[in-house]
């Protein structure tokens, strides 16, 4: 995902953010970090970006939790498969 401006990022809805991959979420967080370090934004924009970063990180954590559960389910099925093979 290519976000070129702070305004585009700030205008992203929660629905837009929900559609992003984990990688895209982290790229946006990095964009915010870089923007903070390389510009002299007004304090109002900084707080908006900070709020957006928290939302992005929250969504990223949710995605990681979901991926972890999927992996655990795959591992469980694999373990069952291996156990069945050992019994044969």
Q: By C-alpha distance, which of 41, 37, 34, 30 is closest to 7?
A: 41
Q: Tell me: the pLDDT tens digits for 31-88?
A: 999 888 877 888 888 999 999 999 999 999 999 999 999 999 999 999 999 888 877 6
Cα-Cα-Cα-Cα dihedral of 44, 2, 61, 54, to 10°? 0
What's the pTM value of the predicted model, to 2 decimals? 0.78
Which pair of structure tokens corresponds to residue 36? 């903070």
The better pLDDT of the pair 37, 22 is held by: 22
Rounded to 10 deg, the angle between the 22-38 and 43-87 helix axes is 150
User: What are the backbone dihedrals phi and psi of residue 87, each rounded to the nearest 5 degrees, phi first?
Assistant: -80, -20
């Amino acid at each position: 995902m290519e976000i070129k401006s702070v305004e585009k990022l700030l205008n992203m809805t929660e629905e837009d953010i929900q559609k992003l991959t984990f990688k895209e979420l982290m790229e946006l967080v990095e964009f915010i970090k870089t923007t903070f370090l390389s510009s002299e934004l007004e304090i109002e924009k900084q707080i908006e970006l900070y709020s957006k970063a928290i939302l992005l990180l929250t969504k990223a954590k949710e995605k990681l939790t979901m991926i972890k559960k999927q992996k655990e389910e795959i591992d469980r099925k694999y373990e069952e498969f291996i156990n069945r093979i050992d019994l044969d």
